[in-house]
Every structure is written in structure tokens, then in C-alpha cells.
């Protein structure tokens, strides 16, 4: 089962990193907490950061979109630089087209009060005070069609380590929003030129890229997210050992708790009962004697 779970998070940091406006949490995206995660084929990928490109870096059916939002995830079990060696980077791409409605998400992230970016240069940053709810903002898109292929980063050094999920349904941005971003990233903007496919294959609505296979883990017990254990059928020796062990334990308990009867008492009284010393008055007289 695959799941997308992004948490509403406040106090995110927006920064101009020289080639995009990038959003991270206070821990700089190096924590498993905060922004959320997706699960694909039993693997957890935590969201480290997201950023936007103008125009889009993917072309769908010959159409290049006005903007493309990238949500960059990294596998939990290869946290850090090892993910770049194990192809454990997952990027979700969301498209935007110019329409009548502005994007509330982009306005919250990058365009507070629709003020154009004046003085926003490399190294500029600010804090987003209000909670950012990615799941609510992107929900309609995430329920739609998507393309799946294995590719590279779109920024240097462009390592071929990315699991790409490119969603087909676009969101809307206003002309004012588009022009505000272009003021910060004028042509040739901050997008990698569209490259030929060079025979690369793409799957539609599949969690596996062409050529990839996935064998789900089937087990009786999951000790954690990676370790499993199956129920083993007991052998006759195990059953016999349990029976013998129960008998031995019962005998030991009997010896430890039972009190040995006094044989001399048995010879003196039936059932081993002996008379005790008298208690209280030894003789009862008439009622008048007690007056």
C-alpha cells in the first residue's frame, strides 16, 4: 500500500539558494519529523524540501507548463549522502498553468500580500508564520494521473538517482504571480532546458518505472519496518517437550507446597485429627449457677 501524508507545518523557511526559491523546515530538512512522508513499495520517503521552477522542466503531450513545483523526498533507511548512491531520492512534480485564479499555496509560500520580489537575491530568506498544508493544497492533483520514470536531478551535478512522479493535472496561478517570479528569475529563468527522451520509457499510473520490479514482503509478523518473522509449525518434539515440562512443573509445585502428614497422629485418631486443649469454661452447669 502506498500513502501520502504531509503535515500542516508552521515556521517554514523560504530561501533563495541561487537557482530556486526553496522551502525547508527549521531543521533544514534533515529530520524525519515535520513536513511529512510518502510510502512507495513499502519504503518510507521523508519530504526534505520543495522548490519551484519557471517554466516547467517536463513537457506533457507537447505542452510546457508555466511552472513546476518539486517536492524532494529521501528514503528513510538511506538518510544522508548514501541516498545518492542507492537511488533513494523521490521527487514529486506538480504543474501550474496561468489561469483566472491565483494559487493560494504559492501566495502563502512566496508571495505574501502579492508584493513583487524587490531585493530578493541569492541568500535572501524569510519565515512563513502560518501553517502550510501541502496535502490540502495538492490533494486534487495527487488523486489524478501521473507519469513514472527513473531520471536525474535537474540541477548540477544532475545525478541519475531520482524516482520521478510527474503528475498530469495542473493547478492554476495568476498572471501577476507568474510575472512576480519572472522578475526574480528572468529568462532563461531557473528551469533546466527540456531534454530529448533518448529512448527513455515512461509508465502511466504505476509505482514502478519501466524495468523496475517490486516483490512485496509477506510475513506473519513485522518486527519493524524492515525485519520480519514467520510463524513456524511446531514439531512433535516441541509438543512432547511441552507436555513433559508441564508434568515436571506440576510435580515440583506439589513437593514445594504440600505438607507431609504426621504418621503418629494417624495412629491415635481417625483421619489424623487429635483433640485440642479445652477452650473457655470446662464445665457447664445449670442456668441458676451463672446468676
Active site (catalytic) residues: 19
Query: How far is it, in rounded angstroms, from Cα 163 to Cα 191?
Result: 19
C-alpha cell at 54: 519557471
Q: What secondary structure, in 3-state letters, does 168-234 show?
A: CCCEEECHHHHHHHHHHCCCCCCCCCCCCCCCCCCEECCCCCCCCCCCCCCCCEECCCCCEECCCCC
Task: Report residue 118 as a C-alpha cell.
Answer: 524587490
Q: Are 207 and 41 in contact (CB under 8 A)?
A: yes
Asked whether the CA dihedral 200, 197, 22, 100 is positive or negative, the reply is negative
DSSP structure class, residue 162? E
Question: What is the rounded distance in angstroms from the CA atom of residue 32 to the CA atom of residue 291?
Answer: 92
Q: Which residues of 82-101 are buried (b: 16+ CB within 10 A; e: fewer)?
A: ebbeeebbbbbbbbbebeee
- Tell which residue, 205, 196, 94, 191, has the closest CA to residue 151: 196
Identify the CA nearest to 200 among candidates 239, 243, 152.
152
- The gap from C-alpha 239 to its chain's centroid, in whole angstroms, comes to 41
Amino acid at each position: 500500500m502506498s500513502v501520502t501524508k504531509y503535515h500542516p507545518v508552521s515556521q517554514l523557511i523560504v530561501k533563495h539558494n541561487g537557482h530556486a526559491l526553496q522551502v525547508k523546515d527549521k531543521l533544514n530538512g534533515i529530520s524525519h519529523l515535520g513536513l511529512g512522508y510518502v510510502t512507495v513499495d513499502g519504503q518510507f520517503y521523508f519530504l526534505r524540501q520543495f522548490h519551484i521552477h519557471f517554466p516547467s522542466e517536463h513537457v506533457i503531450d507537447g505542452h510546457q507548463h508555466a511552472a513546476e513545483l518539486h517536492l524532494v523526498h529521501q528514503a528513510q533507511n538511506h538518510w544522508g549522502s548514501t541516498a545518492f548512491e542507492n537511488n533513494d531520492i523521490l521527487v514529486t512534480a506538480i504543474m501550474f498553468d496561468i489561469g483566472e485564479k491565483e494559487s493560494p499555496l504559492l501566495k502563502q509560500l512566496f508571495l505574501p500580500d502579492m508584493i513583487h520580489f524587490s531585493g530578493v537575491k541569492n541568500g535572501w530568506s524569510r519565515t512563513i508564520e502560518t501553517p502550510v498544508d501541502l496535502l490540502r493544497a495538492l490533494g486534487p492533483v495527487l488523486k489524478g494521473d501521473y507519469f513514472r520514470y527513473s531520471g536525474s536531478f535537474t540541477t548540477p551535478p544532475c545525478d541519475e538517482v531520482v524516482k520521478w512522479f510527474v503528475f498530469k493535472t495542473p493547478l492554476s496561478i495568476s498572471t501577476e504571480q507568474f510575472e512576480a517570479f519572472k522578475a526574480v528569475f528572468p529568462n532563461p529563468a531557473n528551469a533546466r532546458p527540456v531534454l530529448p527522451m533518448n529512448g527513455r520509457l515512461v509508465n502511466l499510473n504505476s509505482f514502478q518505472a519501466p524495468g523496475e520490479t517490486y516483490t512485496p514482503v509477506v510475513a506473519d509478523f513485522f518486527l519493524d519496518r524492515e525485519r520480519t518473522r514467520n510463524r513456524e509449525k511446531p514439531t512433535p518434539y516441541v509438543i512432547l517437550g511441552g507436555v513433559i515440562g508441564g508434568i515436571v512443573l506440576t510435580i515440583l509445585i506439589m513437593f514445594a507446597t504440600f505438607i507431609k502428614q504426621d504418621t503418629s497422629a494417624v495412629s491415635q485418631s481417625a483421619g489424623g485429627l487429635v483433640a485440642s486443649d479445652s477452650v473457655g469454661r470446662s464445665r457447664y452447669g445449670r442456668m441458676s449457677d451463672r446468676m
